[in-house]
Structure 1
Amino acid sequence: MADQRLTKKVVDGIKPNGAEFTVWDSDLTGFGVRVRSNGAMSYVVVYRVGNGRKAPVKKLTIGTVGKLTPDEARGIAKKAIGSVAHGLDPAAEKAEARKCLTVSELADAFLTDHVRTKRKGTTAEGYEHALKAHVVPELGSTKADKLTRPAVAKLHLKLQDRPAMANYVLAVIGSMYGFAQRRGFVPEGFNPASRIEKYPEQGRERFLTSDELARLGDAIREAETIGIAWEVDESKPTAKHAPKAENRRTVFGPYPVAALRLLLLTGCRLREVLHLKWEYVDFERGMIFLPDSKTGRKPVVLNAPALAVLASLPRAGAYVVLGDDPERPRHDLKKIWAAVSRHAGLAGVRIHDLRHTFASIGAGGGLGLPIVGKLLGHTQAATTARYAHLDADPLRRASDRIAGTIAAALEGRPEAEVVPLKTRQS
């Protein structure tokens, strides 16, 4: 984009292009909007410390686009440039001030400068929830370099009734302090989350049985045809205004229904399906080419049932699974999954368990963990190893053959294929 005065309209019109770039303001030299490769945008100001072209160039991040208006950011930039004229270095001052950050301020810097720029959307949301809901309320006022291991252990203990969340919070704190070390906010090697023993966690993988899959299929078909019945709390005063029982059904459109089927048939992650664009689908080769996923670029093999689901959908926008806004990806499938899973009697089953089910059927069918891992897009063999206990088909065949031979020998049948041992000649 050509340099122009940064107004709200101009800033709102900036589109990421996959590479980092800066749009400079035409009115105030050095003031601009930096656009990260992942689309995150922040206001910055650059200046030279000293006189002459050889003077070092410094960059000061003013704030995130959306939290500040262009005029507010420009005002801060003017003050920063004015302080440079008086021999000050605002970026150095900010760095010095950050050395005395509180845990709350460190969390903000961690989210702004690291998580939102380097982590995927759902991962960033998880980090933010852990920090804002658990860490900051308990430890936020403590100076970051004064936080102790016992204080973190106390928070970990407080969450013991939710061991998975307790361990996740501990991991997020550890990651945050790794960031703090790299930025010089705390001394090298200082991490109050280290050497705290995690709680044992039971595996969360849930695999649907054949019977459960049949019930799920029935529920999905009802969702798109006659609709799924919903109940009314008769004890509430508003219950008398509710529709009659025969009219209490919700019919779901083709897009959320197709999303559920694609999750089951491809083993894709939820966001990979919800953010899927038609341009990524290659019907001729039977492939989906995702330019970006949790593990980077990812090809997805489309089987015949999945191709049929995609072919049945009308193209009414850029995205395969349309939401309310055809130009934006659908946010979630909470409503349809709550209705369908309840109707199918699948209490406690998560949408992500559909991916586990895809993997479990492949592993249990003797396809081999490397093949299953490639279908799921795993980059590490250890990730697929969680399904190793299901990959029993070769072992079962071997066990059947050994036991069959032994059983036949015990019964004196010649087909036992017993190999006589050679005796030593005296």
Structure 2
Amino acid sequence: MERVSETARITKATIDAAWRRRRPDLRLTIRDTECRGLALVVNPTGMAWAISWRPRGMDPKTGRRPAMRELVVGTPATHSPEQARAAAGKVKGDAKAGGDPSSNRRTAIEKAARDRAAIVEQLVDDYAEALPLRPKLRGKGSLRPGFISDEIANLRAAVTTMKVGKLSVSAIGGRELRALLTAEAKRPATARQRFGAVSRFLDWCQDEELIPLNPCLTVPKSRRPRTVDARSHHLSVIQLAQLWHAAGKAEADAEGSGFGPVHRDFARFLIAVPCRRGEAASLDWAHLNVTAGIWNLPGKLTKTGDPHRLPLPSLALDILKERHAAAGCPAAGLVFPSPRAGRAISTFSDIKTGLDKAAGLSGWRWHDFRRSFVTVLAEHGVAEAVADAMLNHRQAATRGGVLGVYQQARRVPEQEAAMRRWDELLTAAIKGRPDTVSAVVSFTGRR
């Protein structure tokens, strides 16, 4: 290939003329008279701005000046002659200061590649796959699926609030975290959950050497979300009966609003059974013995990670038997599938809104049903240890510490008696006679 070198003050006209002169066997180099070291290199298929310089100092091995270096700083499409001269001046300035512009360029390119691979949205997906394999923060064993799904949901919501989904994880700093805390200032429990989810995600990013330090650690303790005071609100059996009837009314008045039989049965099941809403949503026919009236929850579906055996009241059994028959008596599958998607119900807020409207009752939460269960039973003589066992608590006063280590009795007969008592009280309230106690319910197949 023929190589031609010329000098000229490079202008737009110079560039246009050089492009017209290109041919397959020619490499044309036009050196700029205004900026020493800057040249326009014209090849058969393109043009580029190149800057040449000689590093400062002497080569310690040869005792001579180092060889000339060359770096491409752009093309006429990206840099005008003035911009190319400015870029060349920066390169020469770095070299004059003792730097290595070529090495700096490679470092910048490598960093850009790492940043592209560390986009937050992609990392959240990777984290969701890695999270089940990470050890629990406290204790032994693996993380329960319910925690994992909640953790990822809180993380994705926080990413949306901070508007960092399309950015590199290194872009998350104090400003983004303050934006998250400010947005959730009126919801302290939500703020704590989402800030915690972000912090644990960034811990993982630090472990993966994607960031040098978790920026959540730089947020002063005075600005971090504080532990929310434990809730103590509970409902009377009269109020629970009111919500029970409201579930039927909400279904009857639905008129396409989306509150269907599955939502009615789901709400009534939570009123009758002292379980967590996520446990009810994931309830599977394979975990039920409808004939014996027993629900065996595997540890992977409970908050504590401990398996749980729970006797069921007749109110819940009536719901389950009807749904089981309507579904064709399946051996497995969700008891309360979402009507459209067929997945576990997750529209808890929408269901509650329907109940509030139908009952004219507000200010309650789903978790209040569990507090109502133990409170009502305590008022009717059921031992706290029995009630705690039925809630599958691990850190309660009757099940934590030394007592929890040594006391392993499940007290099954007492649990079944307590559930019968609960069934009697709730049934009486639903039937409009809360001051009376209905006949003892017979649980077929129980001890």
Per the normalisation by structure 1, the TM-score is 0.51
Superposition RMSD on alpha carbons, in Å?
4.2
Q: Is the 8 A contact 1:116 1:124 kept in 2?
A: no
Deviation at 1:293, TM superposition (A): 1.1
Q: Pick from 267, 280, 284: which aligns with 1:277? A: 284
Quick check: 1:178 aligned with 2:203? Answer: yes
Deviation at 1:171, TM superposition (A): 1.0
- Equivalent residue, structure 1, for 2:150: 123
Aligned-partner residue type, residue 305 of structure 1: L
- Equivalent residue, structure 2, for 1:353: 368
- Equivalent residue, structure 1, for 2:58: none
- Equivalent residue, structure 2, for 1:293: 301
How many Å separate the matches in 2 of 1:98 and 1:366?
A: 62
How many Å separate the matches in 2 of 1:301 and 1:170?
A: 38
Q: Report percent identity of matched pairs.
A: 22
Q: 1:130 to 1:262 in 2, by over 3 A?
A: same
- Equivalent residue, structure 1, for 2:127: 110
Deviation at 1:214, TM superposition (A): 3.4
How many Å separate the matches in 1 of 2:199 and 2:283?
A: 33
Aligned-partner residue type, residue 269 of structure 1: R
Deviation at 1:110, TM superposition (A): 2.7
Q: Secondary structure at the match of 2:272?
A: helix
Deviation at 1:112, TM superposition (A): 4.3
Q: Is the 8 A contact 1:206 1:356 kept in 2?
A: yes
Q: What is the CA deviation profile of residues 147-189 of structure 1, one whole-angstrom value per residue up to 9, with x for unaligned ones? A: 5556534542453233223222221222112212322333477
Aligned-partner residue type, residue 293 of structure 1: L
**Gaps (5+ residues) in structure 1?**
1-92, 231-247, 386-426
Q: Secondary structure at the match of 2:211?
A: coil
- Equivalent residue, structure 1, for 2:240: 213
Aligned-partner residue type, residue 269 of structure 2: L
- Equivalent residue, structure 2, for 1:37: none
Q: Secondary structure at the match of 1:308?
A: helix
Quick check: 1:303 aligned with 2:275? Answer: no
How many Å separate the matches in 2 of 1:249 and 1:369?
A: 44
How many Å separate the matches in 1 of 2:173 and 2:345?
A: 42
How many Å separate the matches in 2 of 1:279 and 1:101?
A: 41
How many Å separate the matches in 1 of 2:350 and 2:179?
A: 37
Q: Is the 8 A contact 1:268 1:376 kept in 2?
A: yes
Query: 1:334-353 to 2 correspondence within 5 Å?
Result: 336-353=351-368
Q: Pick from 379, 385, 399: which aligns with 2:394? A: 379
Aligned-partner residue type, residue 303 of structure 1: P
Aligned-partner residue type, residue 282 of structure 1: N
How many Å separate the matches in 1 of 2:261 and 2:279?
A: 18
Q: What is the CA deviation profile of residues 316-353 of structure 1, one whole-angstrom value per residue up to 9, with x for unaligned ones? A: 15332354369654454555543222121122433343
Q: 1:100 to 1:257 in 2, by over 3 A?
A: closer
How many Å separate the matches in 1 of 2:362 and 2:188?
A: 21
Query: 1:390-405 to 2 correspondence within 5 Å?
Result: none
Structure exhibiting the larger radius of gyration computed from Cα positions:
2
Q: Is the 8 A contact 1:99 1:186 kept in 2?
A: no
**Gaps (5+ residues) in structure 2?**
1-109, 135-142, 401-447
Q: 1:309 to 1:164 in 2, by over 3 A?
A: same
How many Å separate the matches in 1 of 2:336 and 2:291?
A: 20
Deviation at 1:270, TM superposition (A): 2.2
Q: Is the 8 A contact 2:273 2:316 kept in 1?
A: yes
Q: Secondary structure at the match of 2:309?
A: strand
Question: Higher relative contact order by CA 8 Å / sep ≥ 6: 1 or 2?
Answer: 2
How many Å separate the matches in 2 of 1:148 and 1:324?
A: 42
Q: 1:193 to 1:293 in 2, by over 3 A?
A: farther
How many Å separate the matches in 1 of 2:385 and 2:315?
A: 23
Query: 1:20-99 to 2 correspondence within 5 Å?
Result: 97=114
How many Å separate the matches in 2 of 1:361 and 1:342?
A: 25
Q: Is the 8 A contact 1:223 1:340 kept in 2?
A: yes
How many Å separate the matches in 2 of 1:193 and 1:105?
A: 24
How many Å separate the matches in 2 of 1:311 and 1:165?
A: 37
Aligned-partner residue type, residue 277 of structure 2: L
- Equivalent residue, structure 2, for 1:222: 249
- Equivalent residue, structure 2, for 1:133: 160
How many Å separate the matches in 1 of 2:115 and 2:296?
A: 43
Aligned-partner residue type, residue 249 of structure 2: E
Q: Secondary structure at the match of 2:365?
A: coil
Q: What is the CA deviation profile of residues 267-287 of structure 1, one whole-angstrom value per residue up to 9, with x for unaligned ones? A: 122232233222211134431
Aligned-partner residue type, residue 306 of structure 1: A
How many Å separate the matches in 2 of 1:169 and 1:265?
A: 31
How many Å separate the matches in 2 of 1:344 and 1:158?
A: 32
Q: Is the 8 A contact 1:286 1:303 kept in 2?
A: yes
Q: What is the CA deviation profile of residues 50-108 of structure 1, one whole-angstrom value per residue up to 9, with x for unaligned ones? A: xxxxxxxxxxxxxxxxxxxxxxxxxxxxxxxxxxxxxxxxxxx99x9379846565445
Per the normalisation by structure 2, the TM-score is 0.49
Q: 1:156 to 1:302 in 2, by over 3 A?
A: same
